[in-house]
Amino acid sequence: MGRQAIVFSKSLGEIAGALNSSLTVAEKLDCLVQVASRALGVRGCSLMLLDAKRKKLIHVATHGLSDRYVRAGVVEADKSLPEIMEGKTAAVTDTESDPRIQFGEMARREHIASILGVPVMCRGRIVGSLRAYNRIRREFTSAEEEYLITVANLAATVLESSGTLVSAEGSGSTEPKSAPHRRAVRSPVRAVSFAHPSEEDFARLLDFYQIEWVYEPRSFMLEWEGDKVTEMFTPDFYLPGLDLYIEMTTLKPGLTSQKNRKVRRLRELYPDTKIKLLARRDYDRLLAKYGHGPLAGAKTEGVGRILFSADQIQMRVRQLAKEISRDYEGRRILLVGVLRGMLCFMADLMRYLEVPADVDFMAISYYGSGDGGEAVHITKDLDVKPNGRDVVLVEDIVDTGMTLSFVLAHLEARHPATLAVCTLLDKKVRRLTDVPLAYVGFEVPDEFLVGYGLDYREEYRNLPFIALIRQQGRQGDIGG
Ligand code: IMP
Ligand code: MG
């Protein structure tokens, strides 16, 4: 056996040992890229996984690469060594001249001269890519390629057995349980050490809604003097599926104004970059909605100011029904409601409609609902088939948009002819994920509302009007 063959065989033994140990998934993957880098004698290796939309590749375990490189950006799967996404090996012998390199300047600075990349496949489906980065320009041998493919297979078994990958829909099934594009990779695999527990809680919430995230993905240059960068900004999260950065100001409220300034500057310099600040109050309210955090136990002292009277609501609902009847003239629609908040709205809306309408309902599990599930799922699905139908999803209120985006993906996967959303209330300022709203009754402020179907812990649903709740001297300062 040649020297290299011995090195490879030893290293595979080392990886097998790590895989068969009590290490965490993240630790196993870290070990794997580290051992592979050493065996190949390269500068570093990275295991990248496709995001939920299968568009972007995210580094989940790296060795030998600088933070700057890893955070330089999320790699576009169809631009960076695209043949890997077709299940082939990609070799770049000279990064300087190769058009398949997305961050050429960065590779140069990082002294990456050549790259070998192979697909990571689970049950015949490509879920990511394993790449080796070399300091010198050179061709890779077929033994090295074979070795990297073996390591990629080992990585795949770790991912598979950890449940990190949510399985793809079976090819034969005509009624997928949910949209396949949301089901590529779940996040907890990432070797993340959070700076603050609130960040971890937030990451868990995103996981629950199957919203892909990257922690501290990259740094933006904000100020510089000549060649020297004098100020950088690293947002806490990047949500690739939504192309949105999130900065949490929950840790030190004193830093909020500084962060506000940084975010303003970032928007100025990078106008195409979407970023949202999540303040302590937003965050506490977000958690409280699911029964967690400091505001979760807030006691109510009844109903406060009335925002919309019963008459105002009826007038607006009638107008919405008119708009829908006009837009769907001559068609038969399917109204879909997600239980239970929309019940008053649905009942009124359907009676004002002038087009024929079928009605059906879904129910979903909520974060922290204690049903043991770690991801949002449907507890009651539609009885009517939405395929080929003109579906109007009826919602009581859209807040962060996370519920709606999950439900929309589920419905879209079942191929309705058209799909539109009609919501009575839109709490726009709290939106995290952009969702298309075709019909909106009222735009509402960032307050917790009850009545006309909306509840606070199952109370106040049966009020005929919509009001704020009064709570321990303050109004509406509760999760919502
Ligand atoms: P999202 O996923 O954050 O958009 O939350 C939407 C769901 O949260 C709604 O369907 C409601 O059930 C609930 N919700 C949001 N805001 C309020 C509120 O102010 N009062 C009562 N329920 C609310
Ligand atoms: Mg609802």
Sequence-ordered list of residues with C-beta below 8 angstroms from that of 364, at least 6 positions apart, any chain: 338, 376, 377, 378, 379, 403, 406, 407
Measured in Å, residue 353 CA sits from the centre of ligand 2 at 21
| 293 and 344 fall within a common domain | no
What's the CA-to-centroid distance between 480 and ligand 1, angstroms? 6
Confidence of residue 171 (pLDDT cuts 50, 70, 90): very low
- The rounded Å distance from CA 399 to ligand 1 centre is 5
Q: What is the pLDDT of residues 406-465, one digit of tens each?
A: 999 999 999 999 999 999 999 998 888 889 999 999 999 988 899 999 998 888 999 999
Check residue 168 and give its pLDDT: 36
Same domain, 239 and 363: no
Asked, for residue 286, whether it belongs to a domain, the answer is yes
Å from CA of 112 to ligand 2 middle:
50
- Residue closest by Cα to atom 15 of ligand 1: 480
Encode the chain in three state secondary structure. CCHHHHHHHHHHHHHHHHHCCCCCHHHHHHHHHHHHHHHHCCCEEEEEEECCCCCEEEEEEEECCCHHHHCCCCEECCCCCHHHHHCCCEEECCCCCCCCCCCHHHHHHCCCCEEEEEEEEECCEEEEEEEEEECCCCCCCHHHHHHHHHHHHHHHHHHHHHCCECCCCCCCCCCCCCCHHHCCECHHHCCCCCCCHHHHHHHHHHHHCCCCCEECCCCEEEEEECCEEEEEECCCEEECCCCEEEEEECCCHHHHHHHHHHHHHHHHHCCCCEEEEEEHHHHHHHHHCCCCCCCCCCCCCCEEEEEECHHHHHHHHHHHHHHHHHHCCCCCEEEEEECCCCHHHHHHHHHHCCCCEEEEEEEECCCCCCCCCCCCCEEECCCCCCCCCEEEEEEEEECCCHHHHHHHHHHHCCCCCEEEEEEEEECHHHCCCCCCCCEEEEECCCCCEEECCECECCECCCCCCEEEEEECCEECCCCC
Annotation says 371 is catalytic: no
Residue nearest to atom 11 of ligand 1 (CA): 397
User: How far apart are the C-alpha atoms of 122 and 381, rounded to whole Å?
Assistant: 29
Residues 3 and 124 both lie in one domain: yes
Res 73: pLDDT: 60
Q: Note whether 223 and 146 are same-domain residues.
A: no
pLDDT higher than threshold 80 for residue 179: no
For a substitution probing ligand 1, which of 399, 407, 455, 477 has the most ligand atoms within 8 Å of its CB? Answer: 399
- pLDDT, one tens digit per residue, over 294-341 is 777 777 778 889 999 999 999 999 999 999 999 999 999 999 999 999
User: Is residue 185 over pLDDT 70?
Assistant: no
How far does the centroid of ligand 1 lie from the alpha carbon of residue 464, in Å?
18
What pLDDT score does 186 carry?
Answer: 46
* The last residue of a domain, from among 107, 136, 170: 170
Better-scored residue on pLDDT, 106 or 146: 146
Q: pLDDT tens for residues 340-361?
A: 999 999 999 999 999 999 999 9
Is 248 a member of any domain? yes
Ligand 1 binding residues, C-beta < 6 A: 341, 395-404, 427, 448-449, 454, 480
State the closest ligand 1 atom to the C-alpha of 444, by its place in the atom list counted from 1.
Answer: 19
CA 123 to chain centre: 24
**Is residue 40 assigned to a domain?**
yes
Nearest CA, atom 12, ligand 1: 341
Band (pLDDT 50/70/90 cuts) for residue 182 is very low
Q: Are 244 and 263 in contact (CB under 8 A)?
A: no
**Closest ligand 1 atom, CA of 395?**
10
pLDDT computed for residue 103 by the predictor = 73
What's the gap in Å between 337 CA and the centre of ligand 1?
A: 14
Assess if residue 175 is contained within a domain: no
Q: How far apart are CA 285 and CA 296, in angstroms?
A: 8
Nearest ligand to the C-alpha atom of residue 405: 1
Domain assignment of residue 233, yes or no:
yes
Q: What is the pTM of this model?
A: 0.68
The CATH code of the domain that includes 138 is 3.30.450.40
Distance, in Å, from the CA atom of 203 to the CA atom of 224, rounded to the nearest integer, reads 32
The answer to whether residue 468 scores a pLDDT higher than 70 is yes
pLDDT at 272 over 50: yes
Number of domains in the chain: 3
In angstroms, the CA 277 to CA 327 distance is 37
Whether residues 271 and 323 fall in one domain: no
In the predicted structure, residue 251 carries a pLDDT above the cut 50: yes
- Tell me: pLDDT of 67 over 90: no
**Residue 42 reports pLDDT greater than 50:** yes
Domain identity same for 277 and 213: yes
Among the bound ligands, the one closest to the CA of 209: 1
Q: Calculate what percentage of the chain has a pLDDT beyond 90.
A: 48
| 101 and 72 assigned to the same domain | yes
- Are residue 257 and residue 359 in the same domain, yes or no? no
Per-residue pLDDT tens for 145-159? 999 999 999 999 988
Better-scored residue on pLDDT, 167 or 38: 38
Does residue 136 surpass a pLDDT of 80? yes
For position 417, what pLDDT does the model report? 98
Picking from 54-58, 280-284, 368-372, which range would have the lowest pLDDT averaged per residue? Answer: 368-372
Task: Select from 267, 297, 327 the last residue of a domain.
Answer: 297
Residue range of the domain that includes 317: 304-476
Q: Which segment of 108-117, 173-182, 386-395, 446-455 scores lowest on mean pLDDT?
A: 173-182
CATH number of the domain at 231, please.
Answer: 3.40.960
Residue 115 has pLDDT above 60, yes or no: yes
Integer-rounded Cα Rg, in Å, for the chain is: 25
Q: Give pLDDT, residue 180.
A: 34
Domain boundary (110, 144, 170) is at 170
* Residues 64, 66, 71: CA angle, nearest 5 degrees: 125
Q: Which of 454, 456, 457, 462 is the pocket-test mutation for ligand 1 (most atoms within 8 Å of CB)? A: 454
- In this prediction, residue 116 has a pLDDT band, given cuts at 50, 70 and 90, of very high
Query: Residue 247: inside a domain, yes or no?
Result: yes
Q: Which atom of ligand 1 is the closest one to the Cα of 398?
A: 4
**Same domain flag for 319 and 276:** no
Work out which ligand 1 atom sits closest to the CA atom of 454. 21
Would you say residue 50 lies in a domain?
yes
Q: What is the mean pLDDT of the chain?
A: 85
Q: Are 332 and 324 in contact (CB under 8 A)?
A: no
Which atom belonging to ligand 1 lies closest to the Cα atom of 286? 3
| Phi, psi for residue 306 in degrees, rounded to 5 | -85, 125
Judge if 25 and 147 occupy the same domain: yes
Q: Which ligand is nearest to the CA of 366?
A: 1
Assess contact for 278 and 249: CB atoms under 8 A: yes
Q: Which residues pair with 459 in a beta bridge?
A: 456
Q: Are residues 322 and 356 in the same domain?
A: yes
| Mean predicted confidence (pLDDT) in 265-286 | 87
Residue identifier of the C-alpha nearest atom 2 of ligand 1: 403
Q: Is 61 part of a structural domain of the chain?
A: yes
- Identify the CA nearest to 412 among candidates 195, 198, 188, 175: 175
Q: Which amino acid is at 48?
A: M
Taking the centre of ligand 1 as the mean of its atom positions, its distance from the CA of residue 401, in whole angstroms, is 9
If asked whether residues 293 and 308 sit together in one domain, one would say: no
**Dist CA 214 CA 60 (whole Å):** 9
Q: Could you say which of 236, 348, 399, 477 is catalytic?
A: 399
Which atom, in ligand 1's list, is nearest to the CA of 396? 10
CATH at 405: 3.40.50.2020
- Please name which ligand lies nearest the alpha carbon of 435: 1
Instruction: Evaluate if residue 172 carries a pLDDT over 70.
Output: no
Nearest CA to ligand 1 atom 5: 399
